[in-house]
Structure formats: structure tokens, C-alpha cells
Amino acid sequence: MAPPPPPTPSPAQPKTRKKDHVRLNNPFPRAVPSSSLRHRDAAPPLSFSPSSKLAHGAHDFPVGLHFLLRWDPSLGGAVSLAPRRGGGGATMWETVPGVAFVSAASVDTEADECRGSFALRDGRARLVPDRQRVDRIRAVYRRDADADADADLLRVAGAAFQASEHEQARFPVVVITGVVSARKPTPSPSCLCGRRRAAAAAGRPVLSARYWILLEEKSDTQVAFRVNLGDYQWSCDHDRHATHPSPSPSPSPSTSPRTHRAGSILRLRLSTRVQRSSGGSKKKKKLAFAAAGVPADREELAPLVPAAAAKEELEFNRVWMTLASSREERFYGFGEQFSRVEFKGKRVPVLVQEQGIGRGDQPITFAANLLNRIVRPADENSETAATVTDRGALVREFIACASGGNWSTTYAPSPFYMTSKMRSLYLEGYDYSIFDLTKPDRVQIQVYGSSVQGRILHGGSPTELITSYTESTGRPPALPRWITSGAVVGMQGGTDAVRRVWKQLQDHDVPVSAFWLQDWVGQRKTSIGSQLWWNWEVDDDHYAGWNDLVRDLRRRGVRTMTYCNPCLVPKANARRHLFEEAKKLGLLVRDAAGEPYMMPNTAFDVAMLDFTNPAARAWFKGEVLAVMARGGAAGWMADFGEGLPLNARLHSSGSGDDGPVAAHNRYPELWARVNREFADEWRSGEHRRVADDADDGDGDGELVFFVRAGFRESSRWAMLFWEGDQMVSWQANDGIKSSVVGLLTGGMSGFPLNHGDAGGYCTVDLPLLRYRRSEELLLRWLELSAFTVVFRTHEGNKPGSNCQFYSNNRTLAHFARCAKIYKAWEFYRIQLVEEAAEKGLPVARHLFLHYPEDQRVQKMTYQQFLVGTEMLVVPVLDKGRSTVTAYFPMSDGGLWKHVWTGDEFGGRTSRGGVGEGMSHGSEAEVEARIGFPAVFVRVGSTVGERFVRNLRDLKVL
């Protein structure tokens, strides 16, 4: 069958430039590509008719039973949303007086792409925001469906927010309607009316569109919102300003002969528009506005528009929402972030991608950007390998890594925030978005699409906001207890190496829950060393007697975990050629020619499974995961998921559900869902073949997988996260400190179960540039990891260059000590995992979650964190340090007891006293020698008392 033709480019589809083989990348990339539009351009003036009801004082409009929307015409007009509570309550959402809270534009999008790293930026601006007019605000009640002329509006308002056909809208629903306009960025000598004008009087074509904003109560803590645009029409700003010289209020669109004026009576309708896809034709229902007498479809508008203007796109592909903020308001969330916890003053992009190597830490980031793009050396197993160069031999290690990245690059972003003023919202959908927090008085959300939808959250505390957020986005299941009962030993090397290390761990009495063996598939020799074969079957040569090894470990209560990802590679000597099977079945992501999209990854090319295709999901579960689980795997790392190319063709392409960037952001959720569906099916017995695999009631038969890539709703599907590939360094942006930041920001963004590679991963061992794991770094990282939900080690990408827990008796003894510390709070960990499943609250917590008014807490990054509410950890994160500065908030009046000495801290009598300006707490310098991390428990806490008692029983204290 001939491949279908490539899809026709659209303004919403970015122009993608592949840089996989570019020799030099820009060594100083922008942290966040700047917009082609100035901040004030995207927030033009707001206006409303002086003759309308909106001009005559403030008005309140009920949103459901629990919320009120207020319109205030003073200072140019603004709207705000608050809980009712008799008319009071804190403001959840408000706009800037006199400033447009919805604006739109048409801008070209450009994208650079290289091995999982992406940079989206604005190209040419076709139309820049001009103004917003508010025409009407109305609370629509259920009874209006039969008694009112706006019955169509009511039906659409109800349908727009229903998550399923069984869900009923909560009335009243508030509808805001009006007009937004955008103009050409430069004057045109020819107006839309067709008359030539002098340069001094040249006008600019203006595109206007009706907008509607719907607000609906979804629960007593959530209000859903949606912004849609429609009813496009052209006019000329020269005629408009000549007719209406006053800049405020904004006039109606021009009535020049060549444009068609919208009527004053607005009606909503469901229109059916035919959209052609590369695979055929498909009808799609689309919500659209139709003003009386105004055509809604582009084909109908064409005769009204001059030929020159008709060549331009008639739809907006950028939408901004501008909300009010304050200078002192602090912003948290945005997914798993590694460099920052608080984001006021930053532009935060929400795009799934590789986190990068270095992420701003120098000199490693500069070196990675400079050298990562060298043409790949040859690989005897790669059919598309490049020619070896002498120069390439010096930089091969960088080829195995991503580009340098920056402070904003992350595997698992989320379009969500909460603030120190307890304001919170998140976006639904998967379009690329940027949250601009650079202005002290506002938040500007830019969405690369033609509509916006999301939810505004209400809560009196950060924990209430997280609970509300995860109620709709999803929470993970409670982990089976075996995964949290002891250390997960990450290692490689084959059967003999595993048995040798297992004997050493037994000699040191280390509590072990599992061996994680990522090289179970065998290793291939490439130009950058040894790498895994991505053909998901056990390598009987590398792991001779695999079944016996798995069985022997299991008899001693130790499980075996493996590794897989959504990619496949050709393998000449495989028992099963999974790549060829998937290719023949049409299950792979395709390129423009309809062939499997071969993507560069380190030293070889890979194909990616297309999980928008139900057949691919079923095949992967039945032919890969089921075989792996039947071979003894109790869990696995579900790696990658962040690298779907922006110019890939998918099974769902042309359905209209996702654009290329939205599909990219959505892919990690699809990847997690495939794994979760299999784990649930396995638990129900669907894929099993032997009876003794059944669960014994304590989670023994349950599978566990962990992912690194994610998006807003990943916790609905992922059982567990891990933080990806940190450098084996002490640095802030991509070392041990960043692992704490990622743990805490992920926890504040709806990813409650998370952990990292104890010891880090990315190793560089070049003559002039060395990042190798020292013994001190390993020991401190093990101490840190002992207080995360899962305690798992990793040898790193170059095991021979790193200190390992099995390197000598000293490291083995320390590993045993940390594993016992981890074991000592297992009872509390079980409670916290259940709380994560029930409320979405993380195991490891930033202090802001429980002390949100403490200004010092608001500024904290990696310095310390809570485990639940009863334990406080202050890790050593700097080389050569043996003390830490611990801060004890005072808002609850409690004291904290040092685990190792029994000394009490906090309150006004704490050692170290109360420093100047520290009205909310106290600090103290505390000893933290290796093996004795600074850990505190609440005085009088039953959890703390039991933890200390368990440490004694395990002979750690």
C-alpha cells in the first residue's frame, strides 16, 4: 500500500529544523526563546460600551452554587472570581483593570529539534493584538433553556464543559462575550476597502473575532473556564479610527463597504466543518460563533475580503490570558523543575523534552552544547552510521547525552501553578504554553493555539490546592509494599556479577527489595562504549541461567526488575525481530514519506512505537511487557517518552484532536498509560500463564514501573516517577542539589511518588573535562535517597569511572547503614504512600506546603525538606561539609528533636537563637558527619518515637 501524502502545513504547525547532525550548536542558547511580540502588545486595552449595563456599576454573577464572578467597570473594567461565602472570601482569579484579559494574534512558529531537545520560538508576526471589547456578561440558568431566546447559548454552554455525556452541567453558567481584534504589524498602502492611500494615511488590516468565555462550577473547589474564538471578519484600522477618533471605548468593527458588520444580537450554534486529513476526509463538529447575518466559515467570508487580504490566514493561532498578580506574590508548580522552586520574574515554557546535561552549570553546559552535535562516529550495528572521524573520538561521551539544556528544560512539565496568595489554576489540553511572570502586576499565559481551557482552583492552603488539582488530573495507586521494603539495587554486568554483589549485601545485612538490571537485554559495543540492545528480550549469553537467577532471588524475598522504552532497533541475531514485526504491522511512528521515522539516539538510530494507534498499545502489552513479566520481571524502568519528533506522522494525525506539539506533550501520558494498563491487567490475571504468580494479599504479585517523562495527567497512569539523568556532581542545576529541587517541585505539581538515581547518572571522563562520582558524593547521595519513597542506586552511564556502593568495605557499610535508615521509617512510608493515592500529597514535601506564610520558607530551594509532616531532613549537598544550617518554622509552635543526639530545636529557645527578621522561626548550625545526616522528628510525635526506636533495633542508633 502506498504511503499517504504528507499533511499540508498549517499556521499552527511549526516549521521544524532538524539539528541532529549539525556540527556546532549554539553554545549560549536562550533560556526561553523570546516572543516576537512585546509584553504590552499581548495585553492591549480593554473596553466596553458606555451605553450598556456593564458601565453602570459593579455586578455579581453566580457561578454554580459556590462562586461569584464580579464585573467592576471602574479603572477601565475588570473581572474577578471568588468563593461566595456570603459575598466574601479570597479572590481566586482577577484581571488587570483596563487591560485586555483575552487577546489573540497570528504568528509563525519555528522549532529546532535535536535528539529529544526542542526549542520553539515565534517567527514572523502576521497579526499582533489590537484590543478586547466586553459586550455582555450573563449568568445562564437551566430554566433559560425553555423560556429564553438564548436557548442555543445554554445548550452550547452545557455541552462545552461536560467531561462525558453522563455529566450534568452545574448551573448557573456564566458566559462573557465580546470581540478581540488583531492588526497587521506594519501599515499597508492598500486598505481593505480597496482605496489606495498616501503613506501618511496608510491603514492596517484588522482581523476581529467574536470570543466567548464560559465559566462553570465543576466542584466546590473548581471552576472550569474555556475561551473560544469564532466569526472572523476583516476591517481597516484607518476607517475605524477615522470614524471613531477616541481610543476608548473601543468601537465596533468598521462598516466600510468591503467588510460585513456583525449584528448586535449574538447567537451560538454547533457548526459542522469538513476537515481534510492526509488519510482521507473526516467530519468534525466544532463550536463556533455565528452573529446574526455574519458567515462563520472561511469559504463564506472569502468574497468579503480583498484578494491581498485573502492570502493571509483568517484565524488566530495565539491566545493570551492576562491575569492580575502582585509584586510579593510567589509562584510554585509547573511540573518537575530542577533549577527553581519559585518562578516570579521568569517566563516558564511548558514543553516536554530532555532535561539536558549541565542545564546552565559550567563548564559542562558549554561543552555539551559545543560538542554534542559532532557527526556521530560509526557503529558496526547501525545501518545509517556516519563515518568515524579522529575528532569524534575525543567527544564520544557527549554524543550519548542530550544538549546542554537550561534552567527550564525538563522531562515532566505541567501547565499548573499555585501561589503564596493561594491562587491556582491549570490548563487542560496539550498545546505549548508559556507562563510569563516577568511583570510584577500580572500573569500572562500564552497558548500556541486558537482556544484555551482549564480550571481555577480554590483552597485555603497549598495542600488543599494540591488535593483539588489531583482530584481531576489523577493520582497514582498505592505502591505494593515490596518496592518500599528495602533498597532497589541498580547494577549491570551479567549473572555472575549479580550473584557476587548479592553475596556481599548478605554479608553486610542490607535490606534489599529488588535487583534492577537494566542490561537484561544485553549490551552492544558502539563508538561510545557499551549500550543496551533495544530489542526487548533477555540476552541468554549476558545473563546465562536468567530463570535460575530470578528464582533464587525470589526465594529470598528479592525481586528482579528490568528496563524498557517505547523504541525499537533492528538486531541481526535476535530470536524475535521486534522492530521488523512492528514495522510490518504499521505500528511505528512515520516520517513524511510514510516510512518508519528513524531517530538519532546516542550512537544509533531508533524507531518509536505509535501509541496513538490502539493496535500498537495492544501489541506492546502482549508481545513485550507480557513476555518480560512471564520471564520473572516484577517491575521495570519505563524510560524515555519525551522525544516524539514534532514533524512525525501518527495514527491519529488528521483527526483534529492534536497538533504536532500537542501530540508531543501528550505522548508521555500515552506511554505511561500503556504500562499501567498492562500492570492492572496482570494483576487481574489476564496475561499470566502460571498460577503461582498470584498475589498473596500483600502486593507480592503486583508489578511496578517508573517513568521519567510526564505531563499534567501522568499521575493518573504512572505508578512512580524518577527524576531522570542528573550529573554526578555537587552543582545546582544538574547535580545533587537539582535532584532535591526536582523531588520537591514535582511533589507540588501533582507527582507525589518520586525518587532519583542515588549517586547520579551522567558521567564525563575526558582528559580536560571530568565529572566522575567521588566516594563522598556517593555517600551523601545515599543519605539523601534514604528519605525518598524508593531507595534505588544507579551505576551511571560509565560505571568504571564512578565510585559504587560495592567499591570497598567502607562504601558497602555506608550503603547498609542508609538502607537500614530507610527501613526504619517503612511504617510511615506506607501511610504516606496511601495518602498520596488518596489526596495527591507527596511523600517528600517542600516546607511551603505546611508553612505557606513563612517568607523564609517561600524562598527555599534544596536546603531542606519534610517527609510527610513528622520528619525534617537537612541534607549535606556541598563537598567537604560536615555541618548544615537547619531552619525550624514556628507557626505551629512545635519543637523538633535531633535523631542522633536527642537535642531539641525550634521555638524561641532553640540553639542558635532567633535571627534578625526571622519572626516565623529559628535556625541552628547542626553537625552532620557522614553517616549521621541531619534528621529531626517532631517532639511528642508517635511517628518520630517509632522511627527512633526502629533505628535502635536495627543497630543504627
* Residue-wise pLDDT tens digits, 353-396: 999 999 999 999 888 877 654 434 333 333 333 333 333 444 44
Closest to 288 measured CA to CA, from 215, 229, 234: 229
d(C-alpha 137, C-alpha 213), whole Å: 9
Contacts of 338 (CB under 8 A, 6+ apart): 355, 359, 407, 410, 723, 726, 733, 734, 738, 739, 741, 742, 745
Report the pLDDT value the prediction gives residue 371, as an integer from 0 to 100: 67
Place of cell 517503612: 826
Report the pLDDT value the prediction gives residue 689, as an integer from 0 to 100: 61
Chain-wide mean pLDDT for the chain? 83
Give Cα separations from 783 to 10, 688, 786, 788, 900 (angstroms).
52, 38, 5, 10, 14
Report the pLDDT value the prediction gives residue 890, as an integer from 0 to 100: 83
Report the pLDDT value the prediction gives residue 696, as an integer from 0 to 100: 46
Report the pLDDT value the prediction gives residue 83, as an integer from 0 to 100: 96
Q: Are 576 and 628 in contact (CB under 8 A)?
A: no
Give Cα separations from 692 to 496, 622, 700 (angstroms).
27, 20, 11
pLDDT surpassing 60 at residue 575: yes
Closest to 219 measured CA to CA, from 470, 524, 404, 428: 470
> Position 516: which residue type?
W
Closest to 424 measured CA to CA, from 450, 463, 452, 474: 463
Query: Which residue did the predictor score with more confidence, 399 or 894?
Result: 894
Report the pLDDT value the prediction gives residue 300, as an integer from 0 to 100: 34
Report the pLDDT value the prediction gives residue 116, as an integer from 0 to 100: 85
Closest to 3 measured CA to CA, from 613, 594, 610: 594
d(C-alpha 804, C-alpha 403), whole Å: 26
Report the pLDDT value the prediction gives residue 603, as an integer from 0 to 100: 73
d(C-alpha 740, C-alpha 734), whole Å: 10
- Cell of residue 814, nine digits: 555506608
Report the pLDDT value the prediction gives residue 462, as an integer from 0 to 100: 98
- Read off the pLDDT of residues 228-283 as tens digits, 9 standing for 90 and up: 998 899 888 665 554 333 333 333 333 332 333 332 222 332 232 323 333 443 33
Least confident of 138-142, 586-590, 847-851, 896-900: 138-142
Closest to 816 measured CA to CA, from 384, 394, 403, 508: 508
Report the pLDDT value the prediction gives residue 579, as an integer from 0 to 100: 97
d(C-alpha 137, C-alpha 452), whole Å: 18
DSSP 770-808: EE---HHHHHHHHHHHTTSSS-EE---SSGGGS--TTSS
d(C-alpha 566, C-alpha 708), whole Å: 13
- Read off the pLDDT of residues 37-86 as tens digits, 9 standing for 90 and up: 766 677 899 999 887 889 989 999 999 999 999 999 999 999 999 999 75
* Half-sphere CA count of 696, side-chain side, radius 13 A: 6
Q: Are 333 and 416 in contact (CB under 8 A)?
A: yes
Report the pLDDT value the prediction gives residue 530, as an integer from 0 to 100: 75
What does the longest C-alpha to C-alpha distance in the chain come to? 92
Report the pLDDT value the prediction gives residue 193, as an integer from 0 to 100: 54
d(C-alpha 521, C-alpha 502), whole Å: 20
The rounded percent of the chain whose pLDDT value lies above 90 is 67
Residue ranges and CATH numbers for the domains of the chain are 46-184+203-237+315-352+410-458 (2.60.40)
Closest to 723 measured CA to CA, from 771, 696, 760: 760
Closest to 886 measured CA to CA, from 904, 871, 874, 903: 874
Report the pLDDT value the prediction gives residue 276, as an integer from 0 to 100: 32
d(C-alpha 133, C-alpha 128), whole Å: 16
CB atoms within 10 A of CB 129: 26
Contacts of 85 (CB under 8 A, 6+ apart): none
What's the CA dihedral at 526, 532, 538, 542 to 10 degrees? 60
Closest to 428 measured CA to CA, from 400, 402, 447: 447
Query: Which residue did the predictor score with more confidence, 95 or 921?
Result: 95
d(C-alpha 328, C-alpha 440), whole Å: 8
- Read off the pLDDT of residues 140-169 as tens digits, 9 standing for 90 and up: 887 765 555 555 465 555 554 454 344 567
Least confident of 228-242, 489-503, 610-624: 228-242
pLDDT surpassing 60 at residue 326: yes
d(C-alpha 824, C-alpha 900), whole Å: 14
Q: What is the CA radius of gyration of the chain?
A: 29
Report the pLDDT value the prediction gives residue 900, as an integer from 0 to 100: 98
- Cell of residue 144, nine digits: 433559560
Closest to 537 measured CA to CA, from 573, 575, 501: 575
Q: Is residue 907 very low, low, confident or very high in pLDDT (cuts 50, 70, 90)?
A: confident
Q: Are 365 and 359 in contact (CB under 8 A)?
A: yes
**Average pLDDT in the 596-625 region?**
94
Helix (H) or strand (E) holding 472: helix 462-473
Report the pLDDT value the prediction gives residue 445, as an integer from 0 to 100: 97
DSSP 712-775: TTGGGT-S-EE----BSSS-TTTSHHHHHHHHHHHHTTT--SEE-EET-SB-EEETTEEE---H
Residue 898 bridge partners (DSSP) = 936
- Cell of residue 112, nine digits: 529546532
Contacts of 399 (CB under 8 A, 6+ apart): 372, 374, 376, 377, 392, 527, 528, 602, 603
Report the pLDDT value the prediction gives residue 673, as an integer from 0 to 100: 98
Least confident of 171-180, 645-654, 667-676: 645-654
Give me the active site residues, please: 639, 642, 725
d(C-alpha 175, C-alpha 512), whole Å: 58
Report the pLDDT value the prediction gives residue 159, as an integer from 0 to 100: 52
Report the pLDDT value the prediction gives residue 304, as an integer from 0 to 100: 37
Q: Are 343 and 437 in contact (CB under 8 A)?
A: yes
- Cell of residue 292, nine digits: 446574526
**Average pLDDT in the 770-791 region?**
98
